[in-house]
């Protein structure tokens, strides 16, 4: 269900608006269908207002045009017979407009927002799996796609546009969803893309270096993440108290649920809490024991690595905070599955174990290597690259981590985009004490093949950076490429 009157849509902001029948809202003039409203936003690199004539020619019956961050008055002009409404501060209001058009779909769903540098995708999908196992119907929105877990549609961004989010929530509601687990990026928070979403729970995973090309400083990056907990009146807040930033937030958020890998980090917290009491690791997964404000418990899950223990604990604490029964959650935990491209294990007997992971930040790479060292009886290999046209400061940092924590470091291309791959690798090599020992193979498939053919059956090879992605962005354009397909092929050929 959506509003069909342009006058009704803009009633909270305008007294006099033509009463035109409308069928949809579109941000892209190329997607306009007859009856749509074209929403023309001023972006960082593109001003969509220049495409108003194109949108009208395609059948737009009305236009809402961004009037910038001015304090000017709302105004209506006509382009031919089509009303064009000038809307000040529209980027911060677009979420409200979209929510009104789709009749506040988030209010009929239990919405869980996950923010942080790493772990968002895994936690969103673990929560969705857990809910599904207990009879609910959960959708996810984030990096690996939007939809129900069995049928995810690709997503361009971790957090979509304000309009896309409301449209997606309306679709989920129509399809019978009970819950939505949504990754919420720092960009999405700063740009008010989730402003009109009614969140029932919010989770903070961690904060490490990422997106400084956008935010400028770590302080600004942290402040962006904090908005999810300060601007939305979320009833359930779940914080990783082992993270330095998370610990500082927990100190001022007595109502939050504090989660830790040890009791020491949460023993002074006056609110609810959950902490790890013991854990054992095996190639088949992890066995976890915990204490909490809901009592003690134990469960197993087929996930690899220490940071996935925290992902499981944060997911569990959130569902407990939302009122789920502890015993029921623990009973179905062994049925949880690893998320594609997130510490995803590929292994045949008597062959090296390959692990595909999305780690593309220094912190994520360090955690992945530490996690895999526990499972490695031979050498630990690390194959990774760094993206072009992005934060150059993390390149030497990631190479330093690979050299320090892996036995063999293979430097390859990630998404070089418009940058020279040779320059990117040169930046990475500056972080290494012995750069001459690094293996450099720009072709990712060739790099994977080299590692697989030179590793022993007791070795573990981390293929980091691309995860679930099935493409590579080169200067010449985007091409199909998948680490997951590559390692599967290697195991089949050599298996």
Check whether 35 is labelled as a binding-site residue: no
CA distances from 186 to 27, 192, 196, 225, 226 (A): 21, 10, 16, 5, 9
Please name which of 342, 312, 275, 357 lies closest in space to residue 130, comparing C-alpha atoms.
312
Instruction: State the Cα–Cα distance between residues 398 and 368, nearest whole angstrom.
Output: 12
Residue 116 is assigned to a ligand binding site: yes
- Phi, psi dihedral angles at 315 (to 5 degrees): -65, -45
191 is in an annotated binding site: yes
Whether residue 217 is annotated as binding a ligand: the answer is no
Here the tokens at position 8 are 């009704």
**390 carries a ligand binding annotation:** yes
* Residue 412 labelled as part of a binding site: no
- 142 annotated among ligand-binding-site residues: no
For residue 25, which of 94, 106, 109, 104 has the smallest C-alpha distance?
94
Task: Give residues with Cβ within 8 angstroms of 9, minimum separation 6.
Answer: 3, 22, 37, 97, 100, 101
Cβ-contact 181, 217 below 8 angstroms = no
Q: Which two tokens stand for residue 378?
A: 């031979």
Task: Report the candidate in 417, 410, 390 with the shortest Cα–Cα distance to residue 471.
Answer: 417
Distance CA 128, CA 130 (A): 5
On whether 404 is known to bind a ligand per the annotation, the reply is no
Was 193 annotated as part of a binding site?
yes
Q: What angle do CA 225, 227, 229 make, to 5 degrees?
A: 95
Q: Is 122 annotated as a binding residue?
A: yes
* Residue 475: Cβ within 10 Å count: 12
Is 255 marked as a binding-site residue?
no
User: Is there a binding annotation on residue 379?
Assistant: no
Q: 49 among the known binding-site residues?
A: no
| H/E element, 188 | helix 186-190
Q: Where does residue 208 fall: left (phi above 0), alpha (psi -120 to 50 degrees), or beta otherwise? A: beta
Query: Using CA atoms, how far apart are residues 437 and 422, in angstroms rounded to an integer?
Result: 17
To the question of whether residue 478 is assigned a binding role by annotation, the answer is no
**Annotation-wise, does 42 bind a ligand?**
no
Laid out side by side, the sheet with 297-301 consists of 145-148, 138-142, 179-183, 110-115, 201-204, 236-240, 257-260, 273-282, 285-292, 297-301
Q: Does 469 belong to an annotated binding site?
A: yes
Is 417 annotated for ligand binding? yes
Query: Could you tell me where the DSSP H helices lie in 270-407?
Result: 306-321, 326-332, 362-373, 394-405
Helix (H/G/I), strand (E/B), else coil: 444: helix
What CA–CA distance (Å, rounded) separates 219 from 217? 5
DSSP letters spanning 30-53: GG--TTEEEEE-B-SS-BGGGGHH
What residues form the annotated binding site? 27, 116-122, 157-159, 185, 191, 193, 390, 414-417, 465, 469
What residues form the annotated binding site for ATP? 116-122
What residues form the annotated binding site for meso-2,6-diaminopimelate? 390, 414-417, 465, 469
């Amino acid at each position: 269900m959506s509003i069909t009157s342009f006058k009704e849509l803009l009633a909270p902001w305008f007294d006099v608006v033509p009463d035109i029948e409308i069928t949809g809202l579109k941000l892209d003039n190329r997607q306009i269908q007859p009856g749509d409203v074209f929403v023309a936003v001023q972006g960082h690199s593109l001003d969509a207002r220049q495409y108003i004539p194109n949108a009208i020619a395609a059948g737009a019956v009305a236009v809402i045009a961004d009037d910038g961050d001015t304090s000017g008055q709302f105004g209506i002009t006509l382009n031919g017979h089509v009303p064009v409404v000038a809307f000040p501060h529209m980027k911060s209001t677009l979420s409200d407009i979209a929510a009104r058009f789709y009749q506040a779909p988030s209010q009929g769903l239990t919405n869980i927002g996950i923010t942080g540098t790493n772990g968002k995708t895994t936690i969103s999908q673990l929560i969705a799996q857990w809910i599904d196992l207990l009879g609910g119907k959960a959708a996810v929105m984030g990096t690996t796609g939007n939809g129900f877990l069995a049928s995810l549609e690709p997503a361009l961004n971790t957090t979509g546009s304000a309009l896309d989010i409301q449209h997606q929530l309306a679709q989920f509601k129509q399809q019978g969803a009970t819950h939505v687990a949504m990754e919420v990026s720092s960009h999405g928070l700063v740009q008010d893309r989730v402003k009109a979403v009614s969140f029932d729970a919010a989770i903070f995973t961690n904060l490490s270096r990422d997106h400084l090309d956008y935010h400028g400083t770590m302080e600004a990056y942290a402040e962006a993440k904090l908005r999810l907990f300060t601007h939305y009146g979320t009833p359930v807040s779940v914080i990783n108290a082992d993270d330095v930033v998370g610990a500082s937030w927990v100190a001022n958020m007595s109502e939050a649920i504090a989660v830790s890998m040890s009791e020491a980090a949460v023993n002074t917290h006056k609110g609810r809490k959950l902490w790890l009491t013991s854990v054992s690791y095996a190639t088949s997964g992890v066995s976890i024991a915990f204490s909490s404000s809901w009592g003690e418990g134990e469960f197993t899950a087929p996930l690899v690595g220490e940071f996935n223990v925290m992902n499981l604990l944060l997911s569990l604490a959130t569902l407990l905070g939302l009122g789920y029964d502890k015993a029921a959650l623990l009973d179905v935990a062994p049925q949880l599955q690893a998320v594609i491209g997130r510490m995803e294990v590929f292994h045949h007997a008597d062959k090296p174990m390959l692990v595909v992971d999305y780690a593309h930040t220094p912190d994520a790479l360090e955690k992945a290597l530490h996690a895999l060292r526990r499972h490695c009886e031979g050498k630990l290999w690390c194959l990774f690259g760094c993206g072009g046209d992005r934060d150059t400061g993390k390149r030497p940092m990631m190479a330093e981590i690979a050299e320090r924590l892996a036995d063999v470091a293979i430097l390859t291309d990630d998404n070089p985009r418009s940058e020279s791959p040779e320059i990117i690798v040169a930046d990475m090599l500056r972080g290494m004490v012995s750069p001459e020992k690094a293996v450099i193979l720009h072709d990712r498939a060739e790099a994977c093949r080299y590692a697989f053919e030179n590793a022993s059956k007791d070795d573990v090879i981390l293929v980091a950076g691309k995860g679930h992605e099935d493409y590579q962005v080169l200067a010449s354009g985007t091409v199909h490429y998948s680490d997951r397909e590559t390692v599967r092929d290697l195991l089949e050929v050599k298996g």
